[in-house]
Amino acid sequence: MAKQKKYNARPLVSMLIVIAAILLAVIIGQLTPLLNLELNLLDYRFKIRGTQTQSVAQSPIVILAIDDQSDESTPARWPWPRSYFAHVIDNLNEAGVKAIGIDVIFDQADQNGPQSDSLLVEALSKYKNIVLAGKIDIPVGGRTDMATLVPPYENFRRSGVNWGLVSFDLDQDGFYRRYLIGQTYNDSLYSSFAVELLKIYQGIPPEVLLRDSS
């Protein structure tokens, strides 16, 4: 008799699962417009606040950007030999800069030859105010468990240089609004590129973990 009751319950359980799946799909479908509204309100709040800018003379931070004009003014075309970056590091330190961030991912050997890499290793070993870039690579449409950590080239890491992640979170409407101060990969926490630069700029020990106060 008990077996007969168990058998009759199966169609009911299946029906409940189907109903629950339909309700879940409806709820998710209703949430998307709400999320888009929240993002639009966030954009509006930033618009009301207005742009916050400082003149170069007032700002303690100067960004040297790589642009098309930079590429056209150099003998070699992109990707530049690592020796170029070594030369810039020397010049910036002679000018008295406090922290240098190179927002270029050097994850492989220089195609221009090992001598170019050696010059950059020498600069990284000489100066301890440099931060290189790495990333956590997630395939398009892939899951987070398919992510791959992409650190700087091993020869550069051996110099003891600091490095941080330049990964961003993409919102569902295709825009970037957030900057992560750190990410976890295989149970290890990696700081962002900006956090590592801040540590050098503020004289914070490398082992100190910064927390998001929000």
Residue 104 parent element (H or E)? none
DSSP 8-state secondary structure symbol assigned to residue 160: T
Closest among 114, 208, 116, 127 to 160, alpha carbons compared: 127
Which pTM was predicted?
0.74
The larger pLDDT score, comparing residue 50 to residue 194, is at: 194
Q: What is the pLDDT of residue 143?
A: 66
Percentage of the residues of the chain whose pLDDT score is greater than 70: 84
Q: Helix or strand or coil: residue 77?
A: coil
CB contact at 8 A, 162 and 130: yes
Q: What whole-number distance in Å separates Cα of residue 102 and Cα of residue 120?
A: 12
Q: What is the pLDDT of residue 28?
A: 58
Say how many C-beta atoms besides its own lie within 10 A of residue 202's C-beta.
11
Q: What is the pLDDT of residue 25?
A: 65
Q: Which of 13-22, 43-52, 113-122 has the lowest mean pLDDT?
A: 13-22
Q: What is the pLDDT of residue 210?
A: 67
Work out the pLDDT band at 121, boundaries 50, 70, 90: very high
Q: Does residue 29 have a pLDDT over 70?
A: no
CB contact at 8 A, 165 and 180: yes
Q: What is the pLDDT of residue 170?
A: 74
Q: If phi over 0 gives left and psi between -120 and 50 gives alpha, with beta otherwise, what is residue 199?
A: alpha
